[in-house]
Amino acid sequence: GVIIFLFMLGMPERALTQEVGIEFSKGSWKKQLNQAKRQKKLIFLDCHTKWCGFCKVLAQYVFTDPEVARFYNQHFVNVEMDMEEGVGVELVKRYGIHAYPTLLFIKANWKIIMPVIWHPRN
């Protein structure tokens, strides 16, 4: 499943004609962990900051791709988080995040399955 996402990251940017995208869960981190546990899904955590240019590219061109969105909406509890605010600051320390965007696949018990640091090809 993760391989599909990584393949999609290498696809060329295309004009967006639809308002389709990954549906990011709202609410507290605790609520999102509970939702993942209840639904027996992993959390897909988009770790970003306001100043991160690559984060904006990822959000605009990858997270809005209908195929990516369909896959992620079906298989994950999707969470986007500014890592310089609120619980994001704690998670930066806990997971040793030092580059953005970082994409984490996390079990409901807080364990990371696979971290991905994304940078587009030049």
Average confidence (pLDDT) over 96-105 = 93
pLDDT confidence tier of residue 17, bands split at 50, 70 and 90: very low
pLDDT at 85: 96
47 pLDDT exceeds 50? yes
Average confidence (pLDDT) over 14-33 = 78
pLDDT confidence tier of residue 20, bands split at 50, 70 and 90: confident
Q: What per-residue string of b and e applies to 33-64 under the rule 16 or more CB within 10 Å gives b?
A: bebbeeeebbbbbbbbeeebeebeebbebbbb
pTM for the predicted model, two decimal places: 0.79
β-strands 76-82, 42-48 pairing: parallel
Q: What are the residues whose beta carbons fall under 8 Å from the beta carbon of 68, sequence distance 6 or more?
A: 4, 5, 8, 22, 62
Give the Cα separation of 26 and 111 in Å (integer): 21
Edge-to-edge strands, sheet with 42-48: 76-82, 42-48, 102-106, 112-117
User: Can you name the residues that pair with 44 across neighbouring β-strands?
Assistant: 78, 105
pLDDT at 14: 44
Average confidence (pLDDT) over 52-67 = 94
How far separated are the first and last CA of the chain, in Å rounded? 25
pLDDT confidence tier of residue 13, bands split at 50, 70 and 90: very low
pLDDT at 25: 93
